[in-house]
Amino acid sequence: MTPPTVLTIAGSDSGGGAGLQADLRTLFACGVHGMTAVTAVTVQNTIGVTGIVEIPAHVVADQIEVVAVDIGVQAAKTGMLANAEIIVAVAGACDRVGIGKDGHIPFIVDPVCASMGGDQLLRDDALDALRTELFPRATLVTPNLDEVRLLTGIDVTDRKTQEQAADALLAYGPEWALVKAGHMRNVDDCVDLLSNGTDVHELPGPRFDTGNTHGSGDTLASATASQLAQGVAVPAAVAFGKRFIVRSVRDSYSLGKGHGPVSPFWRLSSESV
């Protein structure tokens, strides 16, 4: 039986902890066939990024279209998109093949625009392109709190500001917004907030004392995409993604001299999510 298909539009992580490598191993663990549109090749390890080579925007768009026309896409997600030109090209390609809330193929925008330390990774024009080009097409956006701050100007510190951030993100046009609480260090638990402006869902989870969280955002978004590709509604798909990332952080492992990755390997055992 042919498995569901998910396209990840993201950068390559030479250390294998995040980016499209994290996406593909998560999709595999969820029983999904993963496809890629590579946006950038990074030179990185567990310590940091020392170089980035951006793929020409038309090549990124061509990758999206060629797999969609031949293989078919049942859900798609983004990761690192590198620059405004690529973002605009991705938006156009998605429109042409029906990816996005108006084209009826579920589309998760994980707006990778901040480093693990909170530093801005995209120029201001690329941040604007995320807001104006991709957010209106998104079924779901999944920023971490540093990315929320860059995109909306809101510093999330509690439930009230979490709700404000969700409303601000929804104002850019996505169908749903997930405001993750992983970086909210002042609280004991990790309660994510999912909202479409009318329905609000709390997604509680434990907080683990580990520095090995590299690729956590990619893993959550990919696990969620694996469910959307099978026709699961957004709240249930995100709940699956939340359970998946909780286990993946719990089983994260040390690697190299810096931040190790979260691990979806637990899913290959007989246990279920």
Task: Please check whether residue 273 lies inside any domain of the structure.
Answer: no
pLDDT at 48: 87
pLDDT interval class at 116 (50, 70, 90): low
Q: What type of residue sits at position 36? A: T
Closest of 206, 196, 221 to residue 251, by C-alpha: 206
Element (H or E) spanning 203, and its range? strand 200-203
Residue 29 lies in a domain: yes
Query: What pLDDT was estimated at residue 173?
Result: 98
pTM passes above 0.85: yes
Q: Given phi > 0 = left and psi -120 to 50 = alpha, else beta, which region is 209?
A: beta
Residue 10: inside a domain: yes
Q: Establish if 66 belongs to a structural domain.
A: yes
For residue 260 the two structure tokens come to 């190790």
Residue 270 within any structural domain of the chain: no
Spell out where 134-244 has E strands: 140-141, 176-179, 192-195, 200-203
At residue 264, the 3 state secondary structure works out as coil
Q: Tell which residue, 86, 72, 95, 97, has the closest CA to residue 38.
A: 86
Q: For residue 271, is it within any domain?
A: no
Strands 192-195, 200-203: parallel, antiparallel or unpaired by DSSP? antiparallel
Residue 114 sits in which domain range?
A: 5-265
Taking the CA of residue 192 as centre, how many other CA atoms within 13 Å lie in the half-sphere pointing to its CB? 27
Q: Is 136 among the domain residues?
A: yes
Q: What is the pLDDT of residues 206-249, one digit of tens each?
A: 989 898 999 999 999 999 999 999 999 999 999 999 999 999 99
**CATH code for position 112:** 3.40.1190.20
Helices and strands in the chain, H and E counts? 8, 9
What interhelical angle do 216-228 and 234-250 show, nearest 10? 140
Is 13 buried (19+), middle (13-18) or exposed (0-12) by CB count in 10 A? buried
| Residues contacting 258, CB < 8 A, separation 6+ | 45, 46, 47, 48
pLDDT score of 118: 59
How many domains is the chain partitioned into structurally? Answer: 1
Q: What's the mean per-residue pLDDT of the chain?
A: 93
Answer yes or no: is pLDDT of 28 > 60.
yes
**Six-digit token string for 26:** 């998560």
Strand order in the sheet with 49-54: 49-54, 33-44, 5-13, 75-78, 107-109, 140-141, 176-179, 192-195, 200-203
| Amino acid found at 194 | L
Residue 272 in any domain: the answer is no
Q: Is the dihedral of CA 16, 20, 22, 28 positive or negative?
A: negative
